[in-house]
């Protein structure tokens, strides 16, 4: 039954793509047919995921398509089920959000048929990736996911920056895909087959296992956005339509994590602790640099894109700990770290999708994406402001929201480093945990800035001042994801119970005592070591808030007269007297100045007598140092090689015939 729901999800997504072909003549097809079919697809995928995680079964079937000697094989186990659930929930929310969001495109010049067709294909590709049971279907689905998302990134193709972002994304997607294909090639060679069952039985030597790990780590890490392979992510995510940004950041990055876990812990199987060290270091660096770059962004969607790099880093940090523990013979601790990584994967999918949908609502209603031109949106978009606040508190890991629960589990896994016998590893894990703590503090500052500048204070532009109300579907989609953020944070035991089936399948060991104290307490190691009760934390917060509210609202004769804030004699407060996004981040920019490349320019204009400054302007550009350190040298080398190769182009047909002749001689010599 569950696999029928999973296949129904694929068919509904394909149906959505098919009916969207009529959108170029009848634009309302997207709202009344395509998005409802996506909602069906999301609901079916969610049901299938919950059914499989609930009973822990493994479902396998074969589709009557593929190569004559290799039909497409489908497998849904608990690992696939988790990611089916993630895809399903976010797809359902996007399908509810989409009709209100695309309404303004119906009378414009943008190709709505392109948007609908490739959205359906994008979701189809992601569903098939997590269901594939052979490398052939996996790579076809992976390419379908990558190519369709490229056309979605290029939706606003009239802008040169968007075309550049799309080209960069396509280029790096195919480089990553090639690395994954080579990794599967290693496994298929030793396993004598392209099916995952054959690869699981492959007798890999430690050297070739490490080669396969390195290739897949690069391939999946590039798609996930790990530093320094992240260059495409902050370029592509902000330029796509906002509901597509939610799918890319909230779901597509998680599909890359699925692929990494599937290959490393399932297909390769025998884990080496050195792989964990690589994932630990790259993950912690990605988390810290991601949040530092997010702090310096004034573009709201670009800020959220860099924040995705931070959270992907946190997930890989937890996965690295899991690999270290498993590789050193501590499967119980490895299970804790793996559950922490999976929990944060689920949480990030939910709250990052919520934040991107909120950003899309802001952009649609104000036509502003720059934080420096926002302000006061809470009074104009109250529902979006409330739901966006929940997303900000979740991503900043504040209790009792879901982000806190998964990061707390990650810290609990790190605190068990004393069990390791290797002194270097015992020192490395606390160091990366300290970097995670610093990342958490910076993430809190980042989203205090984002929310405060955008929603509080006074409007900084006319468009923001006249922002319109939100469509009901867009409100509902944000409310749904915000509710999941709260429920997953208040009742983490329910989620941990479902996730515990995954390490039991992959490693044979699960969390022994995580939920032995019932639904009230989460005890990942043991009740006497560490415990967390999110319901009690929520009760404490509510009681404290009620007490504070009571004493801040006196009754009767003690009532306080309210008036405007004291303005120090300078006249009424105005938008220019508020903190800007740039000024809020300035202290952190000064502290971590070597991290960024910063170009800062201040221009002063004085009056005709040179006595008084009449105008002051400040310009700042923050750029990613990885461009200058890694990508620009590669670009120069490619251009140099291209100029040398171009000399082969003589314009003479006899020379070209000679090239062909000598090439044939060489091939005959090689073959013989």
Instruction: Kindly report the three-state secondary structure assignment for every residue of 140-194.
Output: HHHHHHHHHHHHHHCCCCCCHHHHHHHHHHHHHHHHHHHHHHHHHHHHHHHHCCC
- Asked if residues 285 and 253 have their Cβ atoms less than 8 Å apart, the reply is no
Residue 337 has pLDDT above 60, yes or no: yes
How distant, in Å, are the alpha carbons of 177, 294, 336, 398, 449 from that of 443?
31, 9, 24, 11, 10
Tell me what the mean pLDDT of segment 631-635 comes to.
75
Tokens, residue 298: 């004034």
* Residue 525 CA from chain centroid, whole number: 28
Tell me what the mean pLDDT of segment 461-465 comes to.
83
CB atoms within 10 A of CB 578: 17
CA–CA distance, 290 with 302 (Å, rounded to integer): 11
What is the predicted pLDDT for the residue at 560? 63
pLDDT bucket at 593, cuts 50 / 70 / 90:
confident
Domains of the chain by residue range: 1-196, 632-671
Residue 313 has pLDDT above 70, yes or no: yes
- For 72, phi then psi, to 5°, come to -70, 125
CA–CA distance, 53 with 156 (Å, rounded to integer): 39
Residues composing the chain: 672
Between the two ends of the chain, the Cα-to-Cα distance in Å is 54
Q: For residue 342, what are the contacts with CB-CB under 8 A and spacing of at least 6?
A: 82, 499, 502
- The 3-state secondary structure of 188-216 reads HHHHCCCEHHHHHCCCCCHHHHHHHHHHH
Q: Judging by DSSP bridges, how do beta strands 613-623 and 70-76 pair with one another? A: unpaired
Kindly provide the b/e burial profile for residues 253-268, where b requires at least 16 CB atoms within 10 angstroms of the residue's own CB.
bbbbbbbbbbbbbebb
Read off the pLDDT of residues 397-449 as tens digits, 9 standing for 90 and up: 998 999 999 999 999 999 888 888 888 888 899 999 999 999 999 999 999 99
Maximum distance among all Cα pairs of the chain, rounded to whole angstroms: 104
- Asked if residues 123 and 13 have their Cβ atoms less than 8 Å apart, the reply is yes
CB atoms within 10 A of CB 571: 8
How distant, in Å, are the alpha carbons of 64, 132, 432, 553, 640 from that of 75?
15, 6, 35, 59, 46
Read off the pLDDT of residues 544-583 as tens digits, 9 standing for 90 and up: 889 888 877 766 555 566 777 776 766 667 777 788 888 8
CA–CA distance, 171 with 358 (Å, rounded to integer): 29
CA–CA distance, 561 with 189 (Å, rounded to integer): 80
Read off the pLDDT of residues 18-69 as tens digits, 9 standing for 90 and up: 998 888 888 888 888 999 999 999 999 999 999 999 888 888 888 887 677 6
- Asked if residues 482 and 351 have their Cβ atoms less than 8 Å apart, the reply is no
Q: What is the DSSP letter of 532?
A: B
Residue 201 has pLDDT above 60, yes or no: yes
Read off the pLDDT of residues 170-190 as tens digits, 9 standing for 90 and up: 888 888 999 999 999 999 888
Residue 133 has pLDDT above 70, yes or no: yes
- Asked if residues 345 and 254 have their Cβ atoms less than 8 Å apart, the reply is yes
Tokens, residue 424: 């270097």
Tell me what the mean pLDDT of segment 644-658 comes to.
76
Q: Is 521 exposed, middle or buried (0-12, 13-18, 19+ CB in 10 A)?
A: middle
CA–CA distance, 459 with 158 (Å, rounded to integer): 29
Of 414, 387, 412, nearest to 401 (Cα)?
A: 387
Tokens, residue 178: 């090639």
- Asked if residues 196 and 592 have their Cβ atoms less than 8 Å apart, the reply is no
- Asked if residues 86 and 349 have their Cβ atoms less than 8 Å apart, the reply is yes
Tell me what the mean pLDDT of segment 357-380 comes to.
89
Residue 247 has pLDDT above 90, yes or no: yes
CA–CA distance, 421 with 433 (Å, rounded to integer): 18
Residue 484 has pLDDT above 90, yes or no: yes
Q: What 3-state DSSP class applies to 70? A: strand
Tell me what the mean pLDDT of segment 599-607 comes to.
75
CB atoms within 10 A of CB 556: 5
What is the predicted pLDDT for the residue at 602? 77
Tell me what the mean pLDDT of segment 104-109 comes to.
74
Q: Judging by DSSP bridges, how do beta strands 613-623 and 59-67 pair with one another? A: unpaired
Residue 226 has pLDDT above 70, yes or no: yes
Tell me what the mean pLDDT of segment 285-289 comes to.
93
Residue 155 has pLDDT above 90, yes or no: no
Tokens, residue 297: 């962004």
CA–CA distance, 322 with 413 (Å, rounded to integer): 9
Residue 291 has pLDDT above 90, yes or no: yes
CA–CA distance, 487 with 478 (Å, rounded to integer): 14
Q: What 3-state DSSP class applies to 623? A: strand
What is the predicted pLDDT for the residue at 587? 85
- Asked if residues 612 and 606 have their Cβ atoms less than 8 Å apart, the reply is yes
Q: What 3-state DSSP class applies to 91? A: helix
Sign of CA dihedral 35, 39, 42, 45: negative
Computed over every residue of the chain, the mean pLDDT equals 87
Q: What 3-state DSSP class applies to 579? A: coil
- Asked if residues 144 and 132 have their Cβ atoms less than 8 Å apart, the reply is no
- For 195, phi then psi, to 5°, come to -75, 150
Lowest mean pLDDT among 160-169, 200-209, 556-565: 556-565
What is the predicted pLDDT for the residue at 287? 94
What percentage of the chain's residues is helix, strand, coil (to nearest 5)? Answer: 70, 5, 20
Tell me what the mean pLDDT of segment 207-228 comes to.
92
CA–CA distance, 474 with 100 (Å, rounded to integer): 6
- H or E segment and range at residue 312: helix 300-327
- Asked if residues 72 and 134 have their Cβ atoms less than 8 Å apart, the reply is yes
């Amino acid at each position: 039954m569950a696999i029928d729901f999973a296949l129904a999800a694929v068919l509904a997504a394909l149906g959505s793509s098919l009916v969207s072909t009529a959108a170029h003549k009848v634009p309302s097809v997207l709202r009344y047919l395509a998005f409802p079919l996506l909602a069906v697809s999301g609901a079916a995928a969610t049901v299938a995921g919950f059914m499989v995680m609930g009973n822990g079964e493994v479902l396998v079937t074969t589709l009557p398509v593929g190569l004559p000697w290799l039909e497409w094989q489908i497998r849904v186990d608990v690992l696939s089920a988790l990611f089916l659930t993630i895809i399903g929930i976010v797809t359902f929310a996007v399908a509810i959000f989409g009709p209100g969001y695309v309404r303004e495109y119906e009378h414009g010049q943008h190709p709505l048929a392109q948007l609908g067709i490739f959205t359906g294909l994008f979701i189809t590709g992601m569903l098939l990736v997590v269901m594939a049971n052979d490398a052939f279907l996996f790579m076809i689905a992976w390419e379908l996911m990558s190519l369709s998302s490229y056309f979605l990134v290029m939706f606003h193709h009239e802008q040169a920056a968007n075309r550049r972002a799309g080209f960069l994304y396509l280029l790096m997607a195919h480089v990553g895909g090639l690395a994954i294909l080579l990794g599967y090639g290693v496994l298929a060679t030793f396993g004598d087959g392209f099916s995952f069952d054959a690869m699981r039985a492959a007798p890999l030597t430690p050297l070739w296992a490490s080669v396969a790990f390195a290739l897949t780590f690069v391939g999946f890490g590039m798609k996930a956005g790990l530093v320094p392979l992240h260059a495409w992510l902050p370029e592509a995510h902000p330029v796509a339509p906002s509901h597509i940004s939610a799918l890319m950041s909230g779901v597509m990055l998680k599909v890359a994590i699925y692929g990494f876990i599937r290959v490393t812990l399932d297909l390769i199987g025998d884990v080496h602790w050195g792989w964990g060290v690589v994932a630990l270091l790259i993950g912690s660096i990605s988390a810290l640099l991601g949040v530092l770059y997010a702090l310096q962004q004034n573009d709201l969607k670009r800020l959220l894109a860099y924040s995705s790099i931070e959270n992907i880093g946190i997930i890989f940090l937890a996965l690295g700990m899991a690999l270290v523990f498993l590789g050193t013979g501590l499967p119980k601790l490895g299970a804790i770290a793996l559950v922490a990584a999976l929990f944060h994967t689920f949480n990030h999918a939910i709250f990052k999708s919520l934040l991107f949908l909120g950003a899309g609502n802001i952009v649609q209603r104000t036509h502003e994406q720059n934080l420096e031109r926002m302000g006061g949106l809470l009074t104009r978009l109250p529902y979006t402001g409330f739901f966006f606040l929940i997303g900000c508190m979740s991503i900043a890991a504040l209790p009792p929201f879901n982000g806190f629960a998964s990061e707390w589990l990650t810290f609990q896994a790190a605190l068990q480093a004393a069990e390791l016998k290797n002194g270097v590893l015992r020192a490395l894990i606390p160091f990366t945990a300290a970097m995670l703590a610093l990342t958490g503090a910076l993430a809190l500052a980042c989203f205090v800035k984002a929310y405060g500048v955008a929603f509080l204070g006074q409007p900084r532009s006319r468009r923001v001042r006249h922002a319109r109300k939100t469509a009901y579907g867009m409100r509902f989609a944000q409310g749904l994801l915000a509710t999941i953020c709260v429920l997953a944070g208040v009742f983490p035991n329910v989620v941990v119970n479902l996730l515990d089936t995954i390490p039991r399948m992959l490693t044979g060991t699960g969390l022994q005592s995580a939920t032995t104290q019932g639904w009230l307490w989460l005890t990942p190691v043991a009740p006497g070591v560490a415990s967390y009760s999110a319901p009690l934390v929520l009760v404490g917060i509510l009681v404290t808030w009620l007490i504070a509210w009571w004493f801040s609202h006196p009754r009767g004769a003690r009532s306080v007269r309210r008036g405007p804030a004291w303005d120090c004699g300078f006249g009424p407060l105005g938008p220019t007297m508020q903190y800007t996004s740039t000024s809020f981040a300035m202290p952190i920019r000064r502290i971590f100045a070597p991290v960024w490349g910063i170009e800062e320019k201040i221009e002063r204009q004085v009056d005709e007598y040179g006595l008084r400054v009449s105008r002051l302007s400040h310009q700042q550009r923050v750029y990613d140092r990885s461009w200058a350190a890694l990508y620009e040298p590669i670009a120069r080398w490619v251009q140099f090689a291209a100029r040398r190769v171009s000399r082969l182009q003589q314009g003479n047909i006899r020379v070209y015939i000679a090239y062909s002749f000598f090439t044939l001689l060489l091939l005959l010599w090689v073959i013989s």
